[in-house]
Every structure is written in structure tokens, then in C-alpha cells.
Amino acid sequence: MKNQTAFYLFLLCSLLLLVTPANLLAGGWTREKGKGYAQLGGSYIGYNSLFVNGSETLNLPFTVTDITLQGYAEYGITRNLTVIGWLPFKIANNTIRTDTAVVVLPESVGNLNALGNIGLAARYQLARSGIFVVAAQLKADLPTARYQTATGLRSGYSALGIAPALQAGASGNRWYAAAELGANFRTNNYSTQIIGSIEGGYRIVKSFYLGGVIELLNSLENGSYVDGNSVNTGLYLNNQEYVSFGLKAWTKIAKGFGINAWAFGAFSGSLVAKAPAIGGSIYYEW
């Protein structure tokens, strides 16, 4: 990663959280047998520049808009096994910037409305002791995304992704804490990535929670996939990296129903949008 200091500090903190028995803090919870959770939401990001080499800026010839509409669901097969699935639909477009002297062809501008990478996952709870849980998760991102060669617009990665991870968590009456550490292996000559997150939340008032997240994505830069014209849009590039932060809020609005809202930005990164992303959803659990 270009920001090696931030990476090693994050990795050290994640390992301490994951291997210290008294401080297991990752999202290792599973649904009870026959219980489930479903969510329908969306997110938005608009940008005209990327992070490169940590904190430097790469200006793009386009202004890019990326909207995601997504359905997400979890269901408890047994007390220890939960299956997960998500179905993303992407709405992306790029327009020529008027504040730069970069010359681009008219056919390099367009719109893309298409499925993203459909995802499936299984989470198995390995251990539970008091307020602490530990779980293993295996996630697959299917190669269902589209790519427009002329415009460089993408709805996801042109590959199958397999991501094993170790998760752990702890929760009290008004709080929770979580962490995750894993890897993402993609086909089609994409580089392998290290993934991780640390999260915590607190119930401010009845049924209203606030949470904060720090996320890591680090590329091992061992793949040779060529991004093509997507270098001009910044969408789903090979060797993307970041250390990001996010804020979450959620509350119940009726029996079984609730709403979520979130916003994410980045401390540093490489080949990722230099702009915040915002989103929200409505959920139902039973």
C-alpha cells in the first residue's frame, strides 16, 4: 500500500482485537434458526478525481456519478449458521468536465444501468462466551457485472471474487464493538486484497443507535488485469486501496421495521474516488 504506516498500524490493531481473548470485537453474530433480516436501500457518490499514492490527487477528464440500489438479506439456517445474499443494481454515468483542457471523444461519454456483482455468503459462529462471539465467513462476488469498453463505465469487477474472513464481536446493554480481518481473491488476473474493519456503536436513546467504522482495503499488487478506459472513470479498478472512515445511524420505526443511514469518506487511498459516499435503507427483521 502507498500509505504503509497507516496499513501496518491498522493491521496491528486488527490482529490484537482478533487474537486477544478479552477483547474480541468483530461482527461474528449469527441469526437464530428461522429468523431473518431484509434490507432495501441505495447509495450515491459523485466525483471527478481519485486518490493516488496515499493522499495525492489524480484529476479525471469526466465527472462520474455512481448510484447503487441494493437488496440484502440474512437468514438463520441453524443457531450457528447464517446465509447471506445481496443483489446490487448500478446506475452510472460520466460527463465531460468543462473546467479542464483534456480532450476526450464524444463516444467516451455515456450511461450504464446494469447488475453489479451479485453476492452470496455463509457465516458460521465458531465460539460464544458471555458477551463475546467469534465467527468465520466465506463470501463470493459473482461475475455478473457489465463493462462498457468505450466509456469505461463498470457496474462491478469483471471477475469472480472469493473472500474468507475471521470476525469477532462483543456487545452490552447499550453498546457493541466489532472487527473483521480477511482476504479477497479474484479471478481474471485481479490482484489479491487484504480487507479489514473495526466498528463500534452506542444506543443514544431508545431504539436509536450511532456507530463509527474504520475500514481497510490493501492490494498485494500481484495481478496483471488491465483496466482499459476505466482508468478515466475510476470505477472498480485493479489494485484499489484505501483507509476509510464512516458514520452510521439507525432506528426502529415500527414492529420489525427500521431505517439506516450512513456516510463514508477516506483518510487516504489509491485509485479510489476522492469524494464522500452517502446512503440509506429501510429494513425488516423477523
Q: What was the pLDDT predicted at 28?
A: 83
Residue 114: phi, psi to the nearest 5? -160, 165
Query: Measuring CA to CA, which residue among 197, 193, 140 is closest to residue 168?
Result: 197
Number of domains within the chain: 1
Q: pLDDT grade, residue 245 (50/70/90)?
A: very high
Range of the domain at 194: 4-285
SS3 letters across 86-140: EEEEEEEEEEECCCCCCCCCHHHCEEEEEECCCEEEEEEEEEEECCEEEEEEEEE
Residue 210 host element (H or E): strand 208-219
The DSSP line for 60-87 is: EEEEEEEEEEEEEEEEESSSSEEEEEEE
Q: What is the pLDDT of residues 134-163, one digit of tens each?
A: 999 999 999 999 999 999 999 999 999 999
CATH number at residue 248: 2.40.160.40
Q: What is the pLDDT of residues 49-108, one digit of tens each?
A: 999 998 899 999 999 999 999 999 999 999 999 999 999 999 999 999 888 766 676 678
